[in-house]
Amino acid sequence: MKKEKIFIGIDVSKGYADFIILQENKSVLKENFQLDDNKTGHEIFTKLLEELSTDFQIICGVENTGGYERNWVHLIRELSRQSKGIEIYKFNPKAVKHQIQSELKSTIDDAISAKGIATYLINNYDLFKSNWEKSISERKEVTEGKMLNNMINSLIKQKTMKTNQLEKLVYQSFPELLRYFRYSTPQWIYYFLIKYPGAAAVKRGKLSGIENIKYISRSKAKLLKKLAKNSVASMNSELVEYMIKQQCEDILYIDKEIQTLKKKLEKVYENDERAKIIMSLKGIAKWSAAAFLVELGDEKRFKTAKQIVGFFGVNPSFKLSGDGIYKVRMSKQGSANMRSVLFKIVNNLVLHEEYFKALYAKYRAKGKKHYVVMGILMNKALRVLWGMLKTGTKFNSKIDQRNIEKNNQIEQKSQISKKSRRMQKLTLDAPISRSNLKKRRATLEPQSSVSDESTRSSKNSSVQI
């Protein structure tokens, strides 16, 4: 006999979680309750699931919180291996947020969030079950690799923050030195500022001392001395010098940690054939390849290129109405870490890979701004990399060019959907806007034998679509 389904919404917080159990008709089977993320809490929840599983098929849902949900997911997955009547899925918090907002709640607490998760689970279970199954099927090395990559990204953000703070201090203590901060800051700057933290310190120092710093030649040492002598610095106190020195030491320490963690991530994929395929693109080195693979997970879970770019949020998102397209921008749904990796990859591809360099120049020549082009190329790079992995072939620009030509040969869809007009013939005599009139003509004229002029004037020109 088929068991009745029940749905458990789990709203995870740091150290505990709120639960609610709903029946398929959305009535409450068990009111909200809270359990701690410790042994006692897990034992209570385990006992509850075991009792319920005798009479019900249990479907649990949890938002992807970036780590706090993992202990609960692991517990339920272990129980699901013992009982086929228990399921667990993770999904995007944005989807649940929209579900809760649709209920017009004035106050949202953990209990309401748990109910929102359970409701979303009920509404979408049959539609998205196969996709949700992929959300908890990651291999252990992928999960651990993502955590490692998160740590690297966190350190990179710290380094960026400290570099920005350092620039502000240098602007007041030795502004002439900022010419070296314009792009990526060279390592010698940090060693130099640790020893000579400001224009006043440089003026006090000896030329030989500056010259002894790694990567500083005699000519550069003389230039630094000259810049310090003519500096318009407004601050030269001992406290400011201490802060500059401390920031530089912190940056060097963080950078060392970043390099260490990058090597550990690279080692996870050093013998992976997929990494070798990806690195056939000039500009993608070991760390970029490893970071991409760990964020991608199993590439076979995606059936089409459209699906993968939508999953990682590098697809264009726009509002389409009868009269035009508005607010075209990158959707930015899904993993921000993947988009960060793709941005770095594209930045290198534009510098080193001729095919992407030409694409960048082509879009810039059309008047598109730098970051708009980078977004277009992030979409392109993801589709190309996924195609390479799917076919197991190294990069070949001719293959991509053939794919573009093939797509261009496919007959374009009508500007106005046939399905939407199935109830009434399409004509030009409705009180429509100029932009919609243009769309209707584009749809009608290729199928009509009448001339352009007669089409514009005739009220009887129509076609069944």
pLDDT (tens, 9 = 90+) of the chain, 465 residues, equals: 688 999 999 999 999 999 999 999 999 999 999 999 999 999 999 999 999 999 999 999 998 877 789 899 999 999 998 877 899 998 877 777 777 777 766 666 778 889 999 999 999 888 777 766 666 666 777 778 888 998 999 999 999 999 999 999 999 999 999 999 887 889 999 999 999 999 999 999 999 999 999 899 999 999 999 999 999 999 989 999 999 999 999 999 999 999 999 999 999 888 899 999 999 999 999 999 999 999 888 888 788 888 888 888 888 765 555 555 555 677 777 778 899 999 999 999 999 999 999 999 999 999 999 999 999 999 999 999 999 999 999 998 887 777 776 665 544 444 677 778 888 888 888 888 887 888 788 777 754 433 344 334 334 433 333
In a domain, 382, yes or no: yes
Residue 446's pLDDT is what?
55
Domain match, 166 and 230 both: yes
pLDDT in tens, 101-113: 777 666 667 788 8
Domain match, 211 and 163 both: yes
Residue 455's pLDDT is what?
39
In a domain, 143, yes or no: no
Domain match, 248 and 306 both: no
User: Based on the structure, what is the number of domains in the chain?
Assistant: 4
CATH number at residue 181: 1.10.287.4070
Supply the angle between the helices 140-173 and 238-268 in degrees, to the nearest 10. Answer: 160
In a domain, 361, yes or no: yes
Cβ 167 vs Cβ 178: under 8 Å: yes
Domain match, 163 and 249 both: yes
Cβ 430 vs Cβ 446: under 8 Å: no
CATH number at residue 91: 3.30.420.10
In a domain, 216, yes or no: yes
Domain boundary among 266, 300, 321: 266
Residue with tokens 């000259």: 226
Q: Which residues pair with 282 in a beta bridge?
A: none
Task: Look up the domain containing 175 and give its range.
Answer: 149-266
In a domain, 418, yes or no: no
Domain match, 190 and 236 both: yes
Residue 373's pLDDT is what?
94
Domain match, 189 and 292 both: no
Domain match, 238 and 286 both: no
pTM for the model:
0.69
Residue 44's pLDDT is what?
97
Domain match, 88 and 212 both: no
Domain boundary among 108, 137, 166: 137
Domain match, 280 and 395 both: yes
In a domain, 420, yes or no: no
Cα separations in angstroms, 113 against 2, 11, 25, 53, 101: 30, 6, 18, 24, 10
Domain match, 156 and 91 both: no
Helix (H, G, I), strand (E, B) or coil at 108: coil
| Segment (H or E) for 408 | helix 397-409
In a domain, 419, yes or no: no
In a domain, 236, yes or no: yes
Residue 131's pLDDT is what?
66
Residue with tokens 């649990």: 60
Domain match, 387 and 279 both: yes
Domain boundary among 103, 137, 171: 137
Dist CA 380 CA 385 (whole Å): 9
Domain match, 300 and 404 both: yes
